Amino acid sequence: HRVEEEEKVYFKLWNIRNIQKEPKRLKKFCSEVKNVEGLRLTLETLNCTTWTSGFQYLKKSHPELKSLHLKVYSKEKFEFFLDLIQLFGLVLKGLNMVFVGSAEGLHQFQPDSLPCLEELQFRSAFTDTDIAYLLSVCSSTLKVFESRAMRRTEEFCCKDSSFPALESVNLSLCDRLSDKGLVPLIKQSRIIALNVHRTSVTGMDFEQLGVLSCLSQLDLSHCKQFTDQGLCTILKNCPVLEKLNLSETNITGNGVSHICLAYLHSQLV
């Protein structure tokens, strides 16, 4: 897409998608545009190492950059992502990683490496320990967390971390995810939307969560182990729940009717 002359001067927020092949397009963009305060960049390549110079040029030519969202599809080693975070960690607000390989070197992150990260999404070969460490690095600012179709267990969440800003979690198709992994993540958060489709969540430990005063959307579809007790807890402790998906579960409804009647009575009163 050709950038118009007026856009080069006055626009501050940019979205570049589907960059492939060599980083010439990124360098050309950086040299033509006057102001880049915010940038969303989607990079799809099998050879990320050729992009290092392009990212270095971006940082050098636009020191005013305050907000960067990166979405990267790659078969490179994790070192490439470490290089990106070394360059842009202080302004990185969104990170979406899809890559093949281990997260070797992840623990090089320091607690202050990602001070403003709000969105974290990935599909990778991360271990539970890797994810726990990464979450602990950005626990105070994280708003959106998504890790779908991974073999998560109860060990993936650092039990000593809290996520006070967390609003949206998608762990669908993480078939080994249990209550023990989910509860520490959303406890003490202001969670609004939660998707645990096709996981091993039962709801038996949901009493530990207390009142989820902001939760309005919950997807429990295909959670075959979810219990009636878990459903009762949800209905009692989620006062603003608007959307609840229980399709393909084994819920019978036992014990639910009196909760529903109490809720209707409170609305009438």
| pLDDT at residue 166 in the model | 95
Please tell me the distance from the alpha carbon of residue 76 to that of residue 45, in angstroms, as a whole number.
9
Kindly calculate the radius of gyration of the chain based on its CA atoms and give it in whole angstroms.
21
DSSP of the chain: -PPPHHHHHH--EEEEEEE-SSTHHHHHHHHH-S--SEEEEEEE-S-GGGGHHHHHHHHHH-TT--EEEEEEEE-S-THHHHHHHHHHTTTEEEEEEEE-S--TTGGG--TTS-TT--EEEEES---HHHHHHHHHHTTTT--EEE-TT----TTSS-TT---TT--EEE-TT-TT--HHHHHHHHTTS---EEE-TTS---STTGGGG---TT--EEE-TT-TT--HHHHHHHHHH-TT--EEE-TTS----TTTHHHHHHHHHHHH-
> What is the reported pLDDT for 255?
67
Q: What confidence score (pLDDT) does residue 216 get?
A: 95
Place of tokens 């950086």: 30
Tokens of 238: 């989620």
Instruction: Determine the pLDDT at residue 171.
Output: 92
Q: Which two tokens stand for residue 186?
A: 């959303």
What pLDDT shows up at residue 197?
Answer: 96
Entry pTM: 0.83
- Rounded Cα distance between 43 and 20, Å, is 7
Instruction: Write out the chain's pLDDT in tens, 269 residues.
Output: 455 665 666 688 888 776 655 667 788 888 888 888 888 888 766 566 667 788 888 899 999 988 888 887 766 666 777 778 888 888 888 888 776 556 666 666 665 678 899 998 887 667 777 788 888 888 899 999 998 867 666 666 666 678 999 999 999 998 888 998 899 889 889 999 999 999 999 998 988 988 899 999 999 999 999 998 888 888 888 989 999 999 999 888 776 776 666 665 565 55
In SS3 terms, 179-201 reads as HHHHHHHHCCCCCCEEECCCCCC
Nearest to 176 by CA among 200, 148, 202: 200
Pairing of strands 193-195, 119-123: unpaired
